[in-house]
């Protein structure tokens, strides 16, 4: 081993970012570039009666005005649910939906012209509540919903003897959870630059997590063959799921460029980003857990209703994930799930970090805490009794490989001094625990026919001796460029500085399904390792030609190829030797996901080649007077297999905790009816640095058999456990169970007052069975 | 009007409503300064004006005439300063979008001496980061301050 | 985000500024640090064709903490950091420190903060948002969206500087059409209590300076905001106290972030003058102040909570004074918090 994988390597693009030289989409300009602006609907649900465009056309500097009627083809990230159009066609389904677009010589000219477009609407009934959407409606939001409902998706799954489990259980606990929507709030607002050139080619630079899906959507909507569309991903200022779908403005810019024959750039305002949303679904659910008298889980029953907003996005997957991702890390012998996703006239919900699993995980871990109390058991002991083992199968036929959840729980217990704190801290202070489980990449690609590899990586080396990596995986800040560089340098035994990652460009990079579902390290990492091993074989063969020693004897190390008996040549010698045959060297590696999952409907949702596990402990102090929850410290034990770069893994954990605590303590897409009340970073309240607790990361995973160098995901799984860990700590502190988020100080204060009126605050009872 | 940015003098004639952030990004092509919100809440557009941190999205370009503006590009041209290096090496940046504003805010702090942890939190409290959870940013600034102090 | 074109004037003297304001009467705004006026302009909340920038007027930059004179252009950052302000006018320095984030405080000014546009969830929105909501009493509409059938506007005074200055008994110098005038800071705010007016200055009049007389008062400032930073107050309270020979000769309380203007509680505190500060005074004051607070649901936090926290702050801050007093009758120990 060369020690590059596994070490705390700083981001390879760090110096560019720290000096302000890294280029993001909004930083790019082209000669003759125009600026686009989108006219947005002030109505949440309305028929478009008429549009008056001529005033906008006559504004100075305006080059084109377009409407949805000319671009009626629908798109959507999932091929089975294409229900978005780049601009509204016939009717609008949410406030903020685009209805027309303008290209002009400056952003100001474009906005000024956009304001001149007069649209007459005829209001339709507005739906703000998915409960109403599931019932009979007078006006359907989308024609394809079943019957006269606004349902988008309904899932029913049942495994094992559910009825019997709940009938015979010694203990049943129920949690009724209510969660508002939250959104990604990546710091970079979405931006796109499109250039349709006279050779009938379209080039689009965009702030996207998945260039490949954008590539497909542009081709489909604009009816341009895929081979004439090129997508380039510059630096992306954060995604978290919010840049995973092809988005309307990306296609609008391309359409405007084709209309005007000039490059067109669109940079969204922060408010527009809020209307784009595609964030975490507002959720209501009832979760029940059954257990026997010894605390063995017997059954799980969940009924969830999620608010999809006005489009499908990833919602079909989300609907499944709300249920199926709860089948770990515990053994569930009987499982029932009923999930529904309703359309409403709000900005679409979609995928957001720890997609579909956060809200269910919250209620599940709270339910386990409640169960432990009923059983008078330490919640850690209860969890220990129920963990899935490594190398097993869940009730819904997920294949589990490596699993270090036991080590996670032990580590967080020891480091947090759990045994001296649980139920022993004074009133107002508390400690809580929760676990986690997440996929390392969705095993079934969204576009699964024909079965292409999920990720392909190409390497190229020429006379200069630098290895260029071509990959379609998107670095959106998480550091995938660094990880792929480490893997390639590790295999080839060359310094990191000899490796460079080409920008994602669909003309030159092989297809990768992009940055979502925590798939990149696992899938691209495996592809990169294969590509590097292929390259190494070419070098070894050349080394054999030079030295006469069998190629298999050569190990790559420190920029040299070394064989037993002090035989050593520089890698460049080998490269130059190999190049005599066919010039610059190339190699390719691919990752194809294994065949996984059962045979039932929806069996593939949630299957993954590997799963991450987690056990977090949080300690809190509740200011009873002011209702504030101060999270003092989080011990985050995480099993990402072998961490390829512990510094980046810690960064993912710390960032996840920040985001998870944000959802728990303050973040909320605040609606009145269909109206979003807080579309700004001032009023949508992410945590400030002052509220951020100390975080101790405990990376205790063991190597995964199929992960690249034993690695699994670390991008999303670190998020969900922190919310219930803190909620359980709050219960330990003041005896209050919260099942509705967020826990803003005013709501906590109200609950505390009620509790005080009902007999005062006190510690919940201590367990009889302790953590051992 | 004359404008000094990163020790270079520019002759510009912005309209009254031109914001400094747009002048820097669109007219001078100094795109290191970022725009993340539209109301002065995110801090990505922070620049130094006569040495003090200021939101360039809340500043009319015309009003910095004759003053000294430092953007991220002017912090340490051509190589990384101690603070920038510390951010890279500590993992205090991920997507990098908040980084220029964060560095400018921290720079203003470090100029005033060795800060406490609370000073650091306070100094970056107007700068949003959605990736790092701030932990490694604070560490990086602490580290840079120590190195600066031990120089 | 689009501002209509405007003309920017940069007068070098107060006389010039006032003359400009008179010339463009009805179509003009003064621009101080810009942190409030510019977002308002870009959101279409103000549509004026003339801005008069005040930063080039030397007199407005007077900064004399020894004499207690602060020009309207004094930056929040200098109020926060100046050691003399910190020592003599504790609450002023605390309040300046509690506003927004450090970069904003470089630009933001004392005058701008005192005259900051009142805020409301239905008002502080983009032009698009407000049009989609068909406006409100304060902008582009005829109905209040917070209180149904409301005939007045409930937008909240959301600055940080008025409460401490009011508690310390500040006066302000104003340059009006009839010349220079000095009056109590209270008079800067509309007695009618309509949130449409952020202040009671006649159009064209200019706030020149704030004056604090007594550097020996004990003072405190506590602020409720959603996060550690950088939010506007959703309730804040400042106290100024002085006792001579164990008897109150200055006792003032002012509340911000609750009503359309900062509330001065003189009728509650005045009767205690001449008496010693005591637990009895604390109890009576907290109760009376609580009865004066009537927040409406136009910020993010629940109204009963905002009221609770403000009275809670009042109680703890007064208790802190009492504790200090029992040690020795002294002044200038920092008090207050931001939470």
Q: Is A512 helix (H, G, I), strand (E, B) or coil?
A: strand
Across the A/B interface, how many CB contacts are shorter than 8 Å? 173
Residue from A482, A16, A507, A520 nearest A235 by CA? A16
The alpha-carbon gap from B49 to the nearest alpha carbon of chain A, in Å, equals 18
Cβ–Cβ of B32/A19 closer than 8 Å?
A: yes
**ipTM of the assembly?**
0.98
Name every chain B residue with its beta carbon within 8 A of the beta carbon of C38: 19, 58-60
| Confidence tier at C338 by pLDDT (50, 70, 90) | low
Q: Closest-CA residue in chain C for A690? A: C228
Name every chain C residue with its beta carbon within 8 A of the beta carbon of A269: 1, 126
Confidence (pLDDT) at C214: 87
Name every chain A residue with its beta carbon within 8 A of the beta carbon of B91: 8, 10-11, 647-648, 650-651
Q: Closest-CA residue in chain B for A15? A: B88
Query: Which domains are delineated in chain A?
Result: 18-124+187-238+243-276 (3.90.1170.50), 283-443+599-757 (3.30.365.10), 452-591 (3.30.365.10)
Confidence (pLDDT) at A678: 97
What is the biggest distance separating any 2 CA atoms in chain B, rounded to whole angstroms? 47
The whole-number average pLDDT for the span B42-67 is 97
The alpha-carbon gap from A634 to the nearest alpha carbon of chain C, in Å, equals 19
Cβ–Cβ of B96/A18 closer than 8 Å?
A: yes
Contact C152, C178 (CB under 8 A): no
Cβ–Cβ of B126/C53 closer than 8 Å?
A: no
- Would you tell me how many other CB atoms lie within 10 Å of the CB of residue B77? 10
Condensed to tens digits (0 to 9), the pLDDT of residues A684-728 reads 999 999 999 999 999 999 999 999 999 999 999 999 999 999 999
Q: Phi then psi for A207, rounded to 5 degrees? A: -85, 85
Cβ–Cβ of B94/A479 closer than 8 Å?
A: yes
Confidence (pLDDT) at C331: 46
Superfamily (CATH) of domain B2-74: Beta-grasp domain (3.10.20.30)
CA B147 to chain CA mean position, Å: 20
The alpha-carbon gap from B27 to the nearest alpha carbon of chain C, in Å, equals 18
- Splitting chain A (772 residues) into consecutive groups of 10 residues, what average pLDDT does each group show? 95 98 98 98 98 96 97 96 97 98 97 97 96 93 96 97 98 98 98 98 98 97 98 98 98 98 98 98 98 98 98 98 98 98 98 98 98 97 98 98 98 98 97 98 78 93 97 96 98 98 96 93 98 98 97 97 96 97 95 94 96 98 97 98 98 98 98 97 95 97 98 98 98 97 97 90 87 60
Answer whether A266 touches B (CB < 8 Å): no
Cβ–Cβ of A690/C227 closer than 8 Å?
A: yes
Condensed to tens digits (0 to 9), the pLDDT of residues C24-41 reads 999 999 999 999 999 999
Report d(CA A287, CA A289) in Å as an integer: 7
Condensed to tens digits (0 to 9), the pLDDT of residues C135-161 reads 999 998 989 999 988 889 999 999 999
The CATH-assigned architecture of domain C218-327 is 2-Layer Sandwich (3.30)
Answer whether A693 touches B (CB < 8 Å): no
- Would you tell me how many other CB atoms lie within 10 Å of the CB of residue C11? 17
Confidence (pLDDT) at B151: 45
Cβ–Cβ of C100/B52 closer than 8 Å?
A: no
Cβ–Cβ of B35/A189 closer than 8 Å?
A: yes
Cβ–Cβ of A42/C300 closer than 8 Å?
A: no
Two tokens, residue A548: 């006469």
Structural domain boundaries in chain B: 2-74, 82-149
Report d(CA C276, CA C270) in Å as an integer: 12
Structural domain boundaries in chain C: 59-211, 218-327
Condensed to tens digits (0 to 9), the pLDDT of residues C248-304 reads 999 999 999 999 999 999 999 999 999 999 999 999 999 999 999 999 999 999 999
Cβ–Cβ of C132/A675 closer than 8 Å?
A: yes
Residue from C305, C281, C284, C307 nearest C294 by CA? C307
Q: Closest-CA residue in chain C for B107? A: C103
Confidence (pLDDT) at C332: 46
Cβ–Cβ of A11/B88 closer than 8 Å?
A: yes
Residue from C284, C286, C278 nearest C321 by CA? C278
- Portion 623-682 of A in contact with B at CB < 8 A: 647-648, 650-651, 654-659, 680-682
Report d(CA B146, CA B148) in Å as an integer: 5
Fold for B82-149, please state it. Answer: DNA polymerase; domain 1 (1.10.150)
The alpha-carbon gap from A750 to the nearest alpha carbon of chain B, in Å, equals 28
Condensed to tens digits (0 to 9), the pLDDT of residues C316-333 reads 999 999 999 887 654 444
Is the pLDDT at C308 greater than 50? The verdict is: yes
Cβ–Cβ of B94/A186 closer than 8 Å?
A: no
Fold for C59-211, please state it. Answer: 3.30.465
Name every chain A residue with its beta carbon within 8 A of the beta carbon of C129: 271, 679
Report d(CA A517, CA A528) in Å as an integer: 19
For all residues of chain C together, what is the average pLDDT?
93
Confidence (pLDDT) at A450: 63
Answer whether C81 touches B (CB < 8 Å): no
The alpha-carbon gap from B66 to the nearest alpha carbon of chain A, in Å, equals 24
Q: What is the radius of gyration, based on Cα positions, of chain C? A: 20
Question: Cα dihedral sign for A519, A524, A526, A527?
Answer: positive
Cβ–Cβ of A749/C308 closer than 8 Å?
A: yes
Answer whether C302 touches A (CB < 8 Å): yes
Q: Closest-CA residue in chain B for A661? A: B133
Name every chain C residue with its beta carbon within 8 A of the beta carbon of A95: 132
CA A119 to chain CA mean position, Å: 36
Query: Mapped to the 3 state alphabet, what secondary structure does A111-177 carry?
Result: HHHHHCCEEEEEECCCCCCHHHHHCCCCCCCCCCCCCCCCEEEEEEEEECCHHHHHHHCCEEEEEEE
- Portion 103-142 of C in contact with B at CB < 8 A: 103-104, 106-107
| Confidence tier at C190 by pLDDT (50, 70, 90) | confident
Query: Mapped to the 3 state alphabet, what secondary structure does A555-589 carry?
Result: EEECCEEEECCCEEEEHHHHHHHHHHHHCCEEEEE
């Amino acid at each position: 081993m060369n020690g590059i994988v596994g070490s705390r390597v700083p981001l390879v693009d760090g110096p560019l970012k720290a000096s302000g030289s890294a280029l993001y989409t909004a930083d790019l300009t082209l000669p003759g570039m125009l600026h686009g602006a989108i006219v947005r609907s002030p109505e949440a649900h309305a028929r478009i009666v008429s549009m008056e465009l001529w005033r906008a056309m006559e504004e100075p500097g305006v080059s084109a005005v377009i409407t949805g009627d000319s671009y009626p083809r629908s798109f959507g990230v999932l091929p089975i649910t294409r229900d978005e159009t780049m601009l509204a066609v016939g009717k609008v389904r949410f406030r903020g939906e685009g209805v027309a677009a303008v290209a002009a010589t400056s952003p100001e000219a474009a906005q000024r012209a956009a304001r001149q477009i007069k649209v007459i609407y005829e209001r339709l009934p507005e739906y703000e509540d998915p409960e109403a959407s599931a019932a009979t409606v007078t006006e359907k939001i989308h024609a394809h919903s079943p019957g006269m409902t606004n349902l988008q998706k309904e899932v029913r799954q049942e495994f094992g003897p559910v009825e019997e489990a709940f009938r015979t259980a010694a203990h049943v606990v129920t949690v009724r959870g209510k969660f508002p929507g939250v959104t990604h709030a990546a710091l970079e607002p979405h931006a796109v630059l499109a250039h349709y050139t006279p050779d009938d080619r379209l080039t689009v630079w965009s702030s996207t997590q998945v260039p490949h899906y954008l590539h497909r959507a542009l081709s489909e909507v604009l009816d341009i063959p895929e081979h004439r569309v090129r997508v380039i991903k510059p630096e992306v200022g954060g995604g978290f799921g919010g840049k995973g779908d092809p988005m309307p403005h990306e296609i609008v810019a391309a359409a405007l460029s084709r209309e005007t024959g000039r490059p067109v750039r669109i940079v969204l305002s922060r408010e527009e980003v809020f209307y784009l949303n595609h964030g975490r679904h507002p959720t209501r659910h009832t979760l029940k857990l059954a257990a026997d008298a010894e605390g063995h889980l017997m059954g799980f029953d969940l009924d969830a209703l999620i608010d999809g907003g006005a489009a499908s996005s990833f919602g079909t997957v989300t609907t499944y994930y709300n249920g199926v991702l709860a089948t770990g890390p515990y053994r569930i012998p009987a499982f029932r799930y009923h999930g529904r996703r309703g359309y409403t006239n709000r900005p679409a919900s979609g995928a957001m970090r720890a997609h579909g699993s956060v809200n269910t995980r919250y209620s599940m871990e709270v339910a386990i805490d409640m169960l432990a109390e009923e059983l008078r058991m330490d919640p850690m002991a209860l969890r220990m009794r129920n963990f899935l083992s490594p190398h097993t199968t869940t009730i819904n036929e997920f294949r589990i490989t490596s699993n270090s959840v036991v080590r996670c729980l032990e580590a967080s217990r020891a480091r947090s001094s759990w045994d001296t704190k649980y139920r022993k801290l004074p009133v107002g202070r508390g400690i809580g625990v929760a676990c986690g489980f997440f996929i390392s990449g969705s095993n079934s690609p969204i576009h699964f026919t024909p079965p292409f590899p999920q990720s392909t990586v190409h390497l190229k080396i020429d006379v200069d001796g630098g290895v260029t990596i071509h990959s379609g995986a998107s670095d959106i800040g998480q550091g995938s460029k660094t990880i792929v560089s480490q893997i390639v340098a590790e295999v080839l035994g060359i310094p990191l500085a000899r490796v460079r990652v080409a920008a994602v460009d669909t003309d030159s990079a092989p297809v990768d399904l992009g940055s979502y579902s925590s798939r990149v390290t696992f899938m691209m990492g495996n592809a990169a390792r294969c590509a590097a091993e292929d390259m190494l074989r070419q070098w070894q063969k050349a080394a054999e030609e030079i030295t006469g020693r069998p190629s298999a004897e050569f190990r790559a190390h420190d920029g040299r190829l070394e064989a037993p008996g002090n035989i050593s040549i520089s890698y460049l010698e080998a490269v130059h030797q190999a190049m005599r045959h066919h010039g610059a060297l190339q190699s390719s590696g691919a990752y194809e996901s294994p065949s996984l999952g059962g045979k039932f409907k929806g069996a593939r949702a949630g299957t993954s080649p590997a799963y991450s596990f987690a056990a977090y402990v949080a300690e809190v102090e509740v200011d009873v007077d002011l209702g504030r929850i101060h999270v003092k410290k989080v011990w985050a034990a995480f099993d990402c297999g072998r961490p390829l770069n512990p510094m980046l893994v810690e960064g993912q954990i710390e960032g996840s905790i920040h985001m998870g605590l944000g959802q728990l303590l303050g973040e909320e897409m605040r609606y009145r009816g269909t109206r979003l009340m807080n579309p700004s970073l001032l009023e949508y309240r992410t945590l400030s640095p002052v509220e951020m607790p100390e975080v101790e990361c405990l990376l205790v995973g063991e190597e995964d058999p199929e992960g690249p160098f034993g690695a699994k995901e670390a991008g999303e799984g670190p998020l969900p456990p922190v919310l219930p860990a803190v909620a359980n700590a709050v219960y330990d502190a003041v005896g209050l169970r919260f099942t509705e988020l967020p826990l803003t100080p005013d709501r906590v204060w109200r609950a505390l007052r009620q509790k005080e009126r009902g007999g005062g605050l006190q510690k919940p009872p201590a367990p009889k069975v302790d953590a051992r | 009007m004359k404008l000094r940015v990163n020790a270079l003098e520019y002759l510009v004639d912005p309209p009254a409503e031109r914001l400094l952030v747009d002048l820097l990004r669109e007219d001078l092509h100094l795109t290191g300064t970022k725009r993340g919100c539209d109301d002065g809440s995110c801090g990505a557009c922070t620049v130094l004006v006569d040495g003090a941190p200021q939101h360039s999205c809340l500043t009319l370009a015309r009003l910095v005439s004759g003053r000294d503006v430092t953007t991220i590009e002017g912090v340490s041209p051509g190589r990384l300063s101690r603070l920038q290096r510390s951010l890279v090496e500590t993992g205090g940046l991920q997507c990098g979008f908040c980084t220029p504003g964060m560095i400018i805010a921290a720079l203003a702090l470090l100029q005033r001496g060795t800060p406490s942890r609370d000073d650091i939190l306070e100094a970056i409290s107007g700068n949003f980061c959605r990736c790092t959870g701030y932990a490694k940013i604070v560490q990086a600034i602490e580290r840079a301050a120590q190195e600066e102090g031990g120089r | 985000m689009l501002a209509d074109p405007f003309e920017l004037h940069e007068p070098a003297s107060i006389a010039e500024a006032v003359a400009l304001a008179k010339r463009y009467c009805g179509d003009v705004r003064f621009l101080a640090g810009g942190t409030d006026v510019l977002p308002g302009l870009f959101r279409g909340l103000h549509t004026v064709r003339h801005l008069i920038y005040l930063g080039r007027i030397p007199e407005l930059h007077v900064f004399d903490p020894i004499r207690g004179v602060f020009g309207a252009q004094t930056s929040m950052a200098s109020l926060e950091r100046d050691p003399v302000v910190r020592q003599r006018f504790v609450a002023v320095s605390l309040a300046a420190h509690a506003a927004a984030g450090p970069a904003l405080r470089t630009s933001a000014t004392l005058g701008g903060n005192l005259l900051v546009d009142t805020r409301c969830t239905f008002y502080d929105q983009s032009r698009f948002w407000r049009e989609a909501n068909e406006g409100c009493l304060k902008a582009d509409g005829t109905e209040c969206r917070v209180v149904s059938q409301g005939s007045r506007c409930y937008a909240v005074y959301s600055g940080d500087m008025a409460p401490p200055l009011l508690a310390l008994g500040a006066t302000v110098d104003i340059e009006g059409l009839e010349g220079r005038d000095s009056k109590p800071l209270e008079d800067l705010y509309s007695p009618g209590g309509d949130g449409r007016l952020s202040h009671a200055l006649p159009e064209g009049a200019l706030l020149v300076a704030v004056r604090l007389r007594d550097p020996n008062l004990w003072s405190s400032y506590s602020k409720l905001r959603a996060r550690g930073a950088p939010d506007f107050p959703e309730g804040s309270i400042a106290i100024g106290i002085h006792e001579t020979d164990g008897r109150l000769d200055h006792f003032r309380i002012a509340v911000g972030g609750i009503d359309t203007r900062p509330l001065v509680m003189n009728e509650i505190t005045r009767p205690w003058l001449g008496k010693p500060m005591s637990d009895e005074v604390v109890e009576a004051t907290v109760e009376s102040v609580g009865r004066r607070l009537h927040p409406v649901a136009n910020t993010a936090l629940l109204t009963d909570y905002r009221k609770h926290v403000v009275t809670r702050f009042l109680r703890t801050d007064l208790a802190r004074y009492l504790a200090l007093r029992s040690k020795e009758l002294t002044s200038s120990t920092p008090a207050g918090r931001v939470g």
